[in-house]
Amino acid sequence: MTTALQGEPALLTVRPLVQGDRDAVVAMHDRCSMASRRLRYFSAKPVLPPRLLDVFTDRSRGLSLAVDDGSGRIVALGHMMYDATRPGTAELAFLVEDAWQGRGVGRRLATLLRDLGEAEGLAELRASVFSENARMRKLLTAMGGRTTRTDDPAVLEIVLPLRTLAAAA
């Protein structure tokens, strides 16, 4: 599966993340600010642990997408990772390189992951979000997500219900 996203000024390519993307993913993380990495991983993660890429590329655990700018340079990652404790549910998360934020890349990536989750028959996507992360809260609630509090007052969970094939039938 490869798809294109029209971005400014480039045509972006979205494809599954693969092990061979390790160097490009590390480089993208290096270009992201500590603040962006903190909002994504709940810590600044100065270095992406190698085992995390193994998790991201293990298709039995979910689907991770790489967005590149047409030159092979990854500018965003999106993840839909299955929740083993909640059948029919996956965790939604993504990181967009700072220079590409505010250009609709996150919205397009979230929409694509939602559509892929629906096609897989998932019932919902869940995202754990710092309450201060206004962009992510606004994006997911605009897509129909419901916000709930967690035990940690700094963290919200946003549940995005999906129209599965079973629900449509």
Question: Which residue segments constitute the domains of the chain, with CATH numbers given?
Answer: 3-122 (3.40.630.30)
Burial class for 162, CB neighbours closer than 10 Å (0-12, 13-18, 19+): buried
Peptide bond into 9 cis (omega under 30): yes
- pLDDT, position 166: 47
Task: Quote the distance between the C-alpha of residue 97 and its chain's center.
Answer: 12
18 Cβ neighbours under 8 A, 6+ residues apart = 57, 66
- pLDDT, position 49: 81
Please tell me whether residue 6 adopts helix, strand or coil conformation. Answer: strand
pLDDT tens for the chain, 169 residues long, are: 555 555 454 688 999 999 999 899 999 999 999 999 888 888 876 677 888 888 999 999 999 999 998 888 999 999 999 999 999 999 999 999 999 999 999 999 999 999 999 999 999 999 999 999 999 999 999 999 999 999 999 999 999 999 865 444 4
Where do we find the tokens 């998790």? 55
